[in-house]
Amino acid sequence: MDLHNMPLLPCSSLSISIAKGLLNFFVYVRPCVCVCDSGLIGEGEVLLVDAVPHLWRPTKLFVFGDSSAATGNNVASLGSDSDICWHSPYGETFPGKPTARFSDGRVLTDFIAKFIAVKSPLAYKIRNAAGYYSKYGMNFAYGGHSRNEDSVYNTTDLFSSVALVTVSGDDNNYNYFNEGFVKDLKRIYDFGVKKILVTNLAPMGCLPRITSVFKSQNLLLQQAVAKLNSETESSSFIILDLYASFTPVFKNKADHLGSIKFKKPLKSCCVGQSDSDWCGRRYDMDGSPMYTVCERNSAFFWDDAHPSQQGWTAVYSNLQATLQQLY
């Protein structure tokens, strides 16, 4: 090996490069010679370093959000609107019983976990019962809003993780991406999370006023994320464009191979038998259902607000190119 033709690096630069390699950054350091005058090796002595590429790969998923990502934090309480996810027919496609997912099966959390090749993270509520609460991350999402809980992770967990932050836009709040929301995104980054996926608002309703508000809010998010990436000199913040991913489904367009088309994409699969009934409701007297269910793979929406597993599959297909930015 010809030492004379190798680049000479100061020890400080070499240390940073090695540290980054060990921490799983995208770093490639050519074999080099370090001339060190720090006293650790002795002035004029050389240290041969043979570094190899080491690609960052996430091992955990932390989820913050609402019913579009919830997988078990909602409490099953009689009479609560947020507990319908604990009743059949929710969960019948996956995993075969209700698990507090607002769908017949998998939700966005499950698909993001699939993409980064980890198991879907456990809901915070059942962390202790499972015995391995931080192995694949943690889901703090809660139908209606996010939950703020005590820390259950360390910096190592966070550095090797992806965070998913969801905003579904079904709570009639038209000021989603405000200063507080942006500060929360920055806090997640400051904790040490490597990549942060944040959803924009999916299209809801046909009224021009609502459409205009949602587009305006999505523009604010786009500007906020661009500013965060600029300020942090990183590409850590990534927008999952639900608006663009839902739209071709609603228009019944198959934009690429593998796209799923629905005959009536705006029609719910599980609906109440009357205006006062809803999906999952049963008669108090005999427990008979007060709802009807379609052929589940035929519908984009499961109930009146949440996609079915097949619906999320279609959205996930449209998000593939964006998710590649994680690597």
| Residues tagged active-site | 67, 303, 306
- Kindly report the backbone phi and psi dihedral angles of residue 307, in degrees, each rounded to the nearest multiple of 5, phi listed first: -65, 155
Name 210's Cβ contacts closer than 8 Å, sequence gap at least 6. 204
Give the angle 133-74-94 at the CA atoms, nearest 5°.
75
Among 58, 166, 191, 70, CA closest to 124:
70
Output the six-digit token pair for 285: 């007297």
Output the six-digit token pair for 33: 């010679």
The reply to whether omega before 248 is within 30° of 0 (cis) is: no
Among 123, 71, 137, CA closest to 312:
71
Length of the chain: 327
